Structure 1
Amino acid sequence: MYDFEGENSVEGGTDRGPSRGPGGAPHRALMLLEAPRLVGELASSFAVDLVAPRRPGGEGRPVLVVPGFQATDMMTGRLRGHLARHDFRAHGWAQGANIGLTDERIDGLVTRFEQLRAEHDEPVSIVGWSFGGVLARWLAHTYPDDVRQIVCLGSPWRAEGERTHATAMFERSRRKHGMSDRARPMMELLRGPVPVPCTAVYSKTDGIVPWRGCAVDESVQPVAENVVVPSSHVGMVANPLVLDVVVDRLCQDPAEWRGFSWRAALLAKWGAA
């Protein structure tokens, strides 16, 4: 994300010495594997859908899907299509490319969320991919009574997760598009315990962001849980295991929350529960 902590990003990249460690970006080898892994994840997710039964647990509930930095609704189409298959009413954010914390994108996100809340007349679940998950945390803090739950996919919300392989892109975007005066207050707010059920899905083989910056503190808020998946970062919106996690979590009743279990999720998926 933006280098709020250091304010000294390097134009050509994000590495200052070894790229491993709790606060550093993932190893470059993992970054180079992102594209080929995405191809496999996308193909396998379509293959699984051809044979797996539908899980009609969505019951028409609304879901807002927020794309990652520089991503668009087109790039979350596979995820939204999968949610629709399981009877969720999945919506894109309708703001074009996610260029970061500009006034236009912040105001557009608020307008889109309020529109969906009024249209469906019920709390809206939010699935945020990467930086989109950071924005999902902010929406949950801003509208605690109107957000049903959030699911964050590879979202580096912690200060120690700010330096990623995308940090230089954020800084270039800041110079080109500017950044809202609300950016720092937003980050300070969203780093507090989320007031709605929050699931953090992350991969220890993520090639873009440090996974430790994505994990939530399961003991400091009412409902918070971490789910580790074998996934690339870009493939978080297509990986079949990630899609299983998202559907399973969105099927949960916030008032009777059950912690995630791979066994329970897969049994429910294949109609054996």
Structure 2
Amino acid sequence: MSKIEHFLASSKAALNESELARRIQLASGDYADEEKGKPSLLKFMGEADLLIEPARRLVRQFEVPKARVPQTVILFPGFGHGPSRMQYMADRLEEAGHTVKHWGQGRNWGVAEATLDALEERLADVCNQTGGPVALVGWSLGGLYARELAKLHPEQITKVITMGSPFSGSRRSNNIWRLYSVITGESVDQPAIQTDASEKPDVETVAFWSPNDGAIGPRSAAGKPGERDRAVALRCTHSGFTYDPNAIVAVVNELDRHTR
């Protein structure tokens, strides 16, 4: 390796170390007041339920109720996840009679203006394909994207359903924000999209939350009156919003509850 190549390699390594240190700094600090309401460590450990879910599906049987009003639904995955995480729910919703589309952005790696712009195009394409407005169902961070999209284009959306999405209260009332800062390099205090996450879209907006959620604080996911139209309590883990039979049946029933 030449002296120039060695210099460039060492400079890159130093830069990477510096960037890692910056991200760790973002995730550090005592924020006890802002973290009030976050799930306990025991509940967070309960999210390991995700690991045995594939085996459970081999023996579990449950009947998906048929949709009274079949419609088109776009599913939004949570942070670090992509369409594959939502596929089980997608299959069950299609069993019910709905037409399901994925968000079309691959894995959800955080808040980004470019992603929201692409979602606007995706929404327009799906509406053009199906000939009408659609329902949005978003898990965790995906639910925040669904809410923002509904604020921009309420005429194209019949309903927004969020599942364990932290749209209310402190951005640190959860067990994810430190990991989020390290992975994305962004502070939760300065998200890439400047918006009031608690502001309700001008469409029917329903928040699913769970007292068993190990990732997101229940109050943050349930929201306050005026931040959503209704809050619906379920008994599932945070990951379970995407595969628990009760969560899937709740989504089917909620889609039937109201149509524009």
State if a TM-score over 0.5 links the two structures: yes
Structure-2 residue corresponding to 1:148: 158
Q: Distance in 2 between matches of 1:46 and 1:85?
A: 18
Structure-2 residue corresponding to 1:167: 177
Q: Is 1:197–1:254's contact at 8 Å kept on the other side of the alignment?
A: no
Task: Determine helix, strand or coil for the equivalent of 1:251.
Answer: helix
The yes-or-no answer on 1:226 pairing with 2:231 is: yes
Q: Is 1:44–1:239's contact at 8 Å kept on the other side of the alignment?
A: no
Q: Distance in 2 between matches of 1:73 and 1:42?
A: 20
Structure 2: gaps of 5 or more residues: 1-24
State the 1:48 CA deviation. Answer: 3.3
CA RMSD in angstroms, aligned pairs only: 2.9
State the 1:108 CA deviation. Answer: 2.1
1:20-72 deviation digits (Å, cap 9, x = unpaired): 733xx3111111111126635983697233xx26414242x110000001110
Q: TM-score of the superposition, structure 2-length normalised?
A: 0.80
Moved more, 231-240 or 108-117: 108-117
Structure-1 residue corresponding to 2:223: 216
Q: Is 1:41–1:240's contact at 8 Å kept on the other side of the alignment?
A: no
State the 1:109 CA deviation. Answer: 1.6
> Aligned residues, how many?
235
Instruction: Among all aligned residue pairs of Structure 1 and Structure 2, give the percentage whose two residues are the same amino acid.
Output: 21
Task: Determine helix, strand or coil for the equivalent of 2:160.
Answer: strand
Q: Is 1:65–1:128's contact at 8 Å kept on the other side of the alignment?
A: yes
Counterpart of 1:32 (choices 38, 41, 45) is 45
State the 1:98 CA deviation. Answer: 0.3
Structure 1: gaps of 5 or more residues: 1-7, 256-273
The yes-or-no answer on 1:183 pairing with 2:192 is: yes
CA gap of 1:65–1:87, structure 2 versus 1, over 3 A, is same
Q: Is 2:35–2:172's contact at 8 Å kept on the other side of the alignment?
A: no
CA gap of 1:167–1:30, structure 2 versus 1, over 3 A, is same
Q: Is 1:161–1:209's contact at 8 Å kept on the other side of the alignment?
A: no
Q: Distance in 2 between matches of 1:19 and 1:91?
A: 36
Q: TM-score of the superposition, structure 1-length normalised?
A: 0.76
Structure-1 residue corresponding to 2:72: 62
1:203-252 deviation digits (Å, cap 9, x = unpaired): 1121111111111334x37x711111111001110011111110001112
1:71-115 deviation digits (Å, cap 9, x = unpaired): 100000011111100111011112111011223322222221111
Counterpart of 1:205 (choices 212, 216, 224) is 212
CA gap of 1:98–1:211, structure 2 versus 1, over 3 A, is same
Code of the residue aligned with 2:68 in structure 1: it is G
1:131-186 deviation digits (Å, cap 9, x = unpaired): 0111111111111111100110000101324442211222123328x99x98342x
Larger radius of gyration: 2
